[in-house]
A and B are shown apart, each in its own frame.
Chain A
Amino acid sequence: MIFRALVTALAALAAGCATEPLQTAPVSRDRVILLPGSDGSTGAVDVRQGAQSAVLDTPYASAGAGSDGALTVGEADAAATRERFAGALSALPPAPVSYTVYFVFAQDELTEESRKAIAPVLDDVARRPAPEITVIGHADQTGAERINDALSQRRAERVKEMLVQRGISPERITAASRGAREPLVRATEGAAEARNRRVEISIR
């Protein structure tokens, strides 16, 4: 008896369910969460979902489909977000950086200050996984173009040597030179300018 009642009840329930409006496509659970930038600023992401759009521009602003399927903007919990995305965040490669070292007038010798400053740069490169390095040599605007081109190339090669001495494979390092064509500081034509006698080291 009880069994029969149960079956009837279940049948009624099933019939009730069947008369409910059929749900169309399931609501997407895709989400995007904006992070505060490591440089202190927060950028922006334009979000589009079908014809709807939103802009995220505050830390931990989040967008995705709401329960009704419409694009909804909210704010995610910082700690919960870090935990949920721990796997991806832990695999983020170190941020690319660049350094500048300076040279003695007309030579490929580092200034005393830069000789000291280059040690932590070499340490940084040695710590990075699969580092890719570009060194670009520059000269100031004194002297002939031909001499500056050669000098800036020698400066770049000097920095490359230092990196190789630290155990970095030469294939990881691209050395280039720009002569006096890309001064850091605009100086009068032909003027000696210490800040332009440099090598830029970019590491990623």
Chain B
Amino acid sequence: MTRRSTILLLGGLLAAIALDAAAADVGRIKVTAGDAFVEREGKRIPAAVDAGVRASDTVVTGPNGSVGITFSDNSRVSAGPNSTLVLNRYNFDQATHEGAFDATLKRGTLAVVSGRMAKLSPEAVKVRTPSMILGVRGTEFLVYAE
């Protein structure tokens, strides 16, 4: 193999890894009911049990809809009817349990049970509403946003 083709191959491999990291699933839909969608890169996909959730997805539910997601750090989040939940940021290191979770409930209802990263670092998990910022120190809570 020539040096040039080796470099090209390596470059391609690195690009593939970078692409894969960007598109990686960070959670999985476990429960859905009624009208429920995931918005990703401008597209609206019906939310289905077993579908992956990515770090920049938005979850939207209709008047009879709900969605429950379990994330890779074992945290669980579920949105009730007429809700819009925007995932701003998610990363989690399975080895060190370090990471960050940042989401905004623009409207509707949300139930949250925090997972491993909140146990390690109280600064790691943030849930926002239009008027509040919630810092999560290992716990279960409910949020309503208008």
Contact = CB atoms under 8 A, between A and B. Distances in A.
From A32, A71, A87, residue with most partner B Cβ within 10 Å: A87
Interface residues of B, number: 46
B143 A130 contact: no
A30 B110 contact: no
B43 to A, nearest CB: 22
B141 to A, nearest CB: 5
Interface in A130-154: 130, 132
Nearest to A89: B111
Contact of B131 (A49, A85, A87): A49
A124 B8 CA distance: 48
Contact of A87 (B81, B133, B136, B138): B81
B70 A91 contact: no
B110 A88 contact: yes
B31 A45 contact: no
Contacts of A87: 66, 80-81, 109
B41 interface: no
A46 B138 CA distance: 11
Contacts of B139: 34-35, 37, 42-45
B58 interface: no
Given A30-B132, A45-B134, A88 B76 contact: no
A86 B69 CA distance: 16
A96 B33 CA distance: 21
A204 B142 contact: no
Which size bracket describes the interface of A in this complex? 35 or more
Interface in B41-89: 49-50, 66-70, 74, 76, 78-81, 83
Given A35-B141, A204-B74, A30 B131 contact: yes
Nearest to A69: B131
B136 to A, nearest CB: 6
A61 to B, nearest CB: 9
B26 interface: no
A29 B131 CA distance: 9
From A63, A85, A128, residue with most partner B Cβ within 10 Å: A85
Nearest to A93: B30
Contacts of B32: 91
Contacts of A44: 137-139
Given A28-B130, A30-B131, A93 B142 contact: no
A92 B83 CA distance: 14
Contacts of B141: 32-35, 45, 56
A33 B142 contact: yes
A45 B30 contact: no
B100 interface: no
9 contacts: A45-B135, A45-B139, A46-B122, A65-B131, A89-B111, A90-B33, A92-B68, A93-B69, A130-B50
Given A49-B131, A96-B74, A129-B49, 6 more contacts: A32-B132, A32-B144, A45-B135, A45-B139, A47-B133, A88-B79
